[in-house]
Chain A
Amino acid sequence: MAKKFKVDLNQKTCKACGICMALCPKGVLGKRHDGKAEVVDEAACIGCQNCSVHCPDFCFVVKEAAADDK
């Protein structure tokens, strides 16, 4: 079974630059009404860490979800 990941996104420090949405290969992230990022499809995340490495405002923590964490 494919691994599942948990995407923790801190919208308080997000500055709506849009880098994460452009670089996510799986369309996990979408644009909220104010332009900030939001997680729209967490199940599609493959844990590539593109968002957490490239976020200039350190908003992301992506970790493998624990087994009971559905």
Chain B
Amino acid sequence: MPLTALRTVSKPQNGVGAFILQCKRLDFHYCDWAGSSRGMNSFLKGTLPAFAKANPQIEITVSPRPTKHPVIRGHYINGREKAICVRKMDPNQILQKAELLRDASGEKLRREVRRPVKSLNESVRGIWSPFHAPIEEKRWKI
């Protein structure tokens, strides 16, 4: 019996089978001195523990960035990162930005109007061929 190579049945895709959140890490940078990170500091004390507990998939780091504006930076499983400056924002607004980074995919923003569906699979029904269609379906005489 000849040895046949194993064929790949399906490509691994996130969400088919297991789902992994696309945001893997969120960095919160703050400054103790600057007034623009006053909201960020209260966010770190008040809101962040609940946010981190609600999203255990995400690694969360907090680090100072002296004399700079506060920044949230998200790292994604596709290798990209996305940073949002949250200067002079309330804790509520900062929470919204953190949720935006959590839900984002890390891809560049694109405007797609025409094609909502993206597929890696080949066409299920195949490509129509005039040579193989039954007689009554033939629209072209060859």
Q: Verify that A and B bind, or say they do not.
A: no
Interface residues of B (CB under 8 A from A): none
Interface residues of A (CB under 8 A from B): none
